[in-house]
Structure 1
Amino acid sequence: MASEIFERDRHVTFLQMEYQLLPSPYQSQEINSLTLAYFVISGLDLLAAPDRLVDKEAVAKWVLSLQAHPRSQSELDNGQFYGFYGSRSAQFPSEDKDNGALLSCSVSNLASTYCAVAILKIIGYDLSSIDSESILMSMRNLQQPDGSFMPIHTGAETDLRFIYCAVAICHMMGNWSGMDKEKAKAYIINCQRSDFFFQSYDGGFGLTPGSESHGLSPHLISSSVTSFPLEFRSFVPLQRQAADGGFQGRPNKPSDTCYAFWIGSVLKVIGGHKFIDKKALHGFLLTCQSEYGGFSKFPGDFPDLYHSYYGFTAFSLLEEPGLKPLCVELGMSAIAAIGI
């Protein structure tokens, strides 16, 4: 039987265990170590856990050790991205399969760089102390002619998620030299589904131009890069609250814990948060709360870090006692966002 209350202390214990040692199933996600660390550190901060649970000096040292650095100033123009590696193994030089030679090739990526900068900000590290010039100057190498961003300089998919990462990085560093905002704005607008007769009828945003509207599309970038016409601001989010009280990412999909954040945060940004059926959403989230601490994707499943973190952010949006207020634009507590 699902608990009828938010089990804060159990969630703190869950994150504390993950902070000390990740379970073996996470071995396959070693390449995403920074992202997993972000969920743990930011989660403990949102839960207002005591500072003694996190060794901030050790965390900062580990995060900074994952930054890629050019060997000289001239290398900033070589097309590579000098952000943060996702894990220790990502720092290893890759092998050229044609001749067996080791290649000195940076594989730092945009998502991990967002997580690294966010972690440093959450623990109160002075961001002016890091090599921001290398990050921002080389980040422009990832922006494409259409305004989108690749996550790595060697090529990959481009979509709104990576524009969000770039926006958040520039905002946290207080320096917008890392991107062309006007090009990014044009790409964002091209991702809106506004052809009511032949395409999507909901006026939402796909991850790429012409794709299906999706609750994961980071509408939050609008607050920093652009603003949208008011007539487009209320179509998608409220349609995504399902009969069970949870939010779904797309029509005809089951409710999922993480969309309580993705959709709820959009509504918060555009001023529609008051229209959420909060009691119903609260009830759905409790059905995904694990007896072991943390949250699962669907009711009855085992908890995982991703859905646990977005369960915590959702309860923060619902103003659950014992949780810090959330800065939805940056995905961290409001106190951490303003640097207090």
Structure 2
Amino acid sequence: MAISKAEDAMLEPQLDKVRHVKYWTRCIKTLLPHQYTSNDSNRMYLAFFIVSALDLLDALDAVSNEEERQGYVNWVYRCQHPDGGFRMWPGTDLGARSNPENVQWDPANIPATYFGLAILLILKDDFKRLNYEATLAWLPKMQRPDGSFGETLVNGRVEGGQDPRFGYCATGIRYMLRGSSTGDLSVNSRTIPDVNLDTFVRCVRVAEAYEGGIADAPFHEPHAGYTFCSLGALGFIGRLNTKGPVDETPPTAPCDPGAVVSWLVHRQTELTDPDAGVDSEFTAPEDMDDVRRTENGKASGAQHDGTVPAHQDPVGTTAISIFDLLVDGAGMNGRINKVADTCYGFWSGASLHIMQQPNLYDQEAIRRYLIGKTQHPVLGGHGKFPGDLPDLLHSYLGLAALSLAGCKEIKPVDARMCLSKEACARLPAIWQSFSAGR
């Protein structure tokens, strides 16, 4: 029997905002689960997820008082490096014991600096305690001759991968400190060089794949996370090409924006089960009112109208849930022929927003996927896949993706910066204060 529109509306999954707030309150008020112990040296990005998530839920002021929020600000500044930038955590700060031999163990970190500045922005800090001059001077040193950026500077050598994640964070730092201005800056009678924007754009160009996405390096498989980082970075520096053909003076990217958009649109999928078979349409026979599954020798089923979403054959795969039958949602994946994953709801969806094509993916379907399938019904937060326990990364990106997909219970998100538009709106005042001080 077919489900009526009224019945379908009753099945619309709802964001359990109360549970989400409780999940993030536990994260900020108590110790994180023991699985995060190995991430202790990456504490800055964990702090970003927690503080920014509570901001998106409009709960930061409710779960913390002014003294606590100032304590969070002080902790971020505690991680500030004397030579510019921020550490990921205070544990590498050697203080008075620092010397030329051990300084290599205490470098500033590009992602930590981006996340640290973002936290300060959310917490309404005015950046007046920021070592502005040193951070701007440190940034060009983090760029390699090929245009890519690294993670740390150790003994004069740029260390870390060459993928767009570091380029995204580096250009994001530059954007938060100087906005859209270009060229060298004069700060306190000192000339501070800009990063080489042209070589960075060319670095992105050579990683564009033939099928439309952007990879971490030439001839590698395109990936939604790398695509987001590349597009976001190009947006930060004002070199994003959304129309085509590509410009050369100055150079812009991507070279074929239509191919990038097409590749991103095809990231939306109903394939949700990591153990499922190939993506296929399955229409049950007309007399098949009870779709049955066999798991561990036991049959289970649910009444349905005879049509099963394309993510999996209900007879040929395992672990189907009631929401797979009743919640007609479609998430996003990060690569061709992969299952949907909570985080790619943001990486892929935000990329389409950056490319000024937010209407080309099914926002209602992504909401139903994130709320009906990966939102944890007991703990709050989001898991990576349906049925998974929540974790900080997927819980945060799930909220950000829902905001971009039109969920009214979450603050509007700036797709490029991956934080609330409310926090981003504080940047012009910061740029003005820096400009006045030069």
Normalising by structure 1, we get a TM-score of 0.87
Evaluate the alpha carbon distance shift between residue 178 and residue 10 of structure 1 in structure 2; reply closer, same or farther with a 3 A threshold.
farther
Deviations 1:158-210 (A, max 9, x none): 1111110011111111266552211211111111113xxxxxxx221002222
1:335 aligns with 2:422: yes
Aligned to 1:63: 76
1:320 pairs, out of 407, 423, 430, with 407
Distance (whole Å) between structure 1 residues aligned to residue 265 and residue 413 of structure 2: 20
2:236 pairs, out of 224, 243, 246, with 224
1:162 aligns with 2:166: yes
1:188 aligns with 2:197: no
Aligned to 1:24: 34
Distance (whole Å) between structure 2 residues aligned to residue 165 and residue 281 of structure 1: 27
**How large is the RMSD of aligned CA atoms in angstroms?**
2.0
Evaluate the alpha carbon distance shift between residue 20 and residue 102 of structure 1 in structure 2; reply closer, same or farther with a 3 A threshold.
farther
Task: Answer whether contact 2:367 2:407 (CA < 8 A) is retained.
Answer: no
Aligned to 2:339: 254
Normalising by structure 2, we get a TM-score of 0.69
Evaluate the alpha carbon distance shift between residue 28 and residue 312 of structure 1 in structure 2; reply closer, same or farther with a 3 A threshold.
same
Which piece of structure 1 moves more, 226-235 or 115-124? 226-235
Aligned to 2:284: none
Which piece of structure 1 moves more, 291-300 or 45-54? 45-54
**Which amino acid in 2 is paired with 1:243?**
E
Bigger Rg, structure 1 or 2: 2
Query: Is the partner of 1:31 in helix, strand or coil?
Result: helix
Query: Is the partner of 2:153 in helix, strand or coil?
Result: coil
Distance (whole Å) between structure 2 residues aligned to residue 110 and residue 178 of structure 1: 16
Evaluate the alpha carbon distance shift between residue 227 and residue 3 of structure 1 in structure 2; reply closer, same or farther with a 3 A threshold.
closer
**Which amino acid in 2 is paired with 1:260?**
G
**Which amino acid in 2 is paired with 1:103?**
N
Task: Answer whether contact 2:380 2:390 (CA < 8 A) is retained.
Answer: yes
**Which amino acid in 1 is paired with 2:221?**
E
1:112 aligns with 2:112: yes
**Which amino acid in 2 is paired with 1:140?**
P
**Which amino acid in 1 is paired with 2:21?**
V
1:88 aligns with 2:90: yes
Q: What is the deviation of 1:227?
A: 2.2
Query: Is the partner of 1:179 in helix, strand or coil?
Result: coil
Deviations 1:250-295 (A, max 9, x none): 0121111000000000111112211211222122112111120100
Aligned to 2:214: 205
Query: Is the partner of 2:359 in helix, strand or coil?
Result: helix
Deviations 1:28-70 (A, max 9, x none): 1101100000000000001111414232211110000001103
**Which amino acid in 1 is paired with 2:113?**
T
Amino-acid identity (%)? 29
Q: What is the deviation of 1:102?
A: 6.2
Aligned to 2:367: 282
Task: Answer whether contact 1:150 1:156 (CA < 8 A) is retained.
Answer: yes
Task: Answer whether contact 1:142 1:150 (CA < 8 A) is retained.
Answer: yes
Distance (whole Å) between structure 1 residues aligned to residue 60 and residue 94 of structure 2: 35
Q: Any stretches of 5+ residues in structure 2 without a counterpart?
A: 1-10, 183-192, 245-256, 272-329, 428-438
Distance (whole Å) between structure 2 residues aligned to residue 319 and residue 128 of structure 1: 35
Query: Is the partner of 2:331 in helix, strand or coil?
Result: coil
Task: Answer whether contact 1:288 1:298 (CA < 8 A) is retained.
Answer: yes
Distance (whole Å) between structure 1 residues aligned to residue 360 and residue 415 of structure 2: 17
Q: What is the deviation of 1:83?
A: 1.4
Task: Answer whether contact 1:207 1:213 (CA < 8 A) is retained.
Answer: yes
Distance (whole Å) between structure 2 residues aligned to residue 238 and residue 3 of structure 1: 24
Aligned to 1:10: 19
Query: Is the partner of 2:342 in helix, strand or coil?
Result: coil
Distance (whole Å) between structure 2 residues aligned to residue 185 and residue 12 of structure 1: 40
Evaluate the alpha carbon distance shift between residue 186 and residue 63 of structure 1 in structure 2; reply closer, same or farther with a 3 A threshold.
same
Task: Answer whether contact 1:3 1:289 (CA < 8 A) is retained.
Answer: no
**Which amino acid in 2 is paired with 1:188?**
V
Task: Answer whether contact 1:316 1:323 (CA < 8 A) is retained.
Answer: yes
Q: What is the deviation of 1:233?
A: 4.1
**Which amino acid in 2 is paired with 1:273?**
P
Query: Is the partner of 2:332 in helix, strand or coil?
Result: coil
**Which amino acid in 2 is paired with 1:144?**
R
Q: What is the deviation of 1:92?
A: 4.3
Q: Could you list the runs of 4 or more consecutive aligned residues of structure 1 that deviate by over 4 angstroms after TM superposition?
A: 175-178
Deviations 1:305-336 (A, max 9, x none): 00000000011112212211001111110010
Aligned to 1:98: none
Task: Answer whether contact 2:270 2:340 (CA < 8 A) is retained.
Answer: no
Evaluate the alpha carbon distance shift between residue 279 and residue 3 of structure 1 in structure 2; reply closer, same or farther with a 3 A threshold.
closer
Task: Answer whether contact 2:363 2:406 (CA < 8 A) is retained.
Answer: no
Query: Is the partner of 1:61 in helix, strand or coil?
Result: helix
Q: Any stretches of 5+ residues in structure 1 without a counterpart?
A: 71-81, 96-100, 195-201
Distance (whole Å) between structure 1 residues aligned to residue 386 and residue 42 of structure 2: 26
Distance (whole Å) between structure 1 residues aligned to residue 57 and residue 40 of structure 2: 25
Query: Is the partner of 1:115 in helix, strand or coil?
Result: helix
Aligned length: 315
